[in-house]
Amino acid sequence: MSEDLKWVKQCVVAVKQGNKILGMIKRNFTDRSEETIMSLYKSLVRPHSQFCTPVWSPHLVKDSKLIEGVQRRATKLVQGIEHWKYENKLAYLRLSQLDMRRVRCDLIDTFKIMNSIYDVHSELFFQLDHR
């Protein structure tokens, strides 16, 4: 986090690491099938863009676009769909945009807090009305 309380540096680091790994995948793997690229992307690249996102989730559109660019680049590696529109690639590969994944994770965490699955006091997060 920077002095102005923004997460731009974290976003840049995540994008840089993701792009670095994608470059390694592109240079070292000749099999560009959906199975291979998606397995590599989901296991090696996506964790960098999702690590601790409940804490630093990008709120600014420019930061979200920056991070989404890594997934966009990964979808370009899949053989046979390189020239499709990004939304069509996501549907074909059964992926969702990363901002929607973050919303889903937030909802899951909220559910876990409300149902005491996490060992935290839900009243610290939510105003519960027990009438």
Average pLDDT across the chain, whole number: 83
Judge whether residue 1 has pLDDT over 90. no
What is the model's pLDDT at position 116? 82
The answer to whether 56 touches 102, Cβ cutoff 8 Å, is no
User: In the chain, pLDDT over 90 holds for what percent of residues?
Assistant: 44
Judge whether residue 56 has pLDDT over 80. no
73-107 per-position pLDDT tens digit: 999 999 999 999 999 999 999 998 877 877 888 88
What is the model's pLDDT at position 32? 95
The sign one gets for the Cα dihedral 14, 68, 110, 6 is positive
Residue 70 tokens read as: 């890594």
14-28 per-position pLDDT tens digit: 889 999 999 999 999
What is the model's pLDDT at position 98? 79
The answer to whether 9 touches 60, Cβ cutoff 8 Å, is no
What is the model's pLDDT at position 58? 67
What is the model's pLDDT at position 87? 94
Query: Structure pTM?
Result: 0.73
Spell out the domain ranges in the chain: 8-96
The answer to whether 33 touches 79, Cβ cutoff 8 Å, is yes
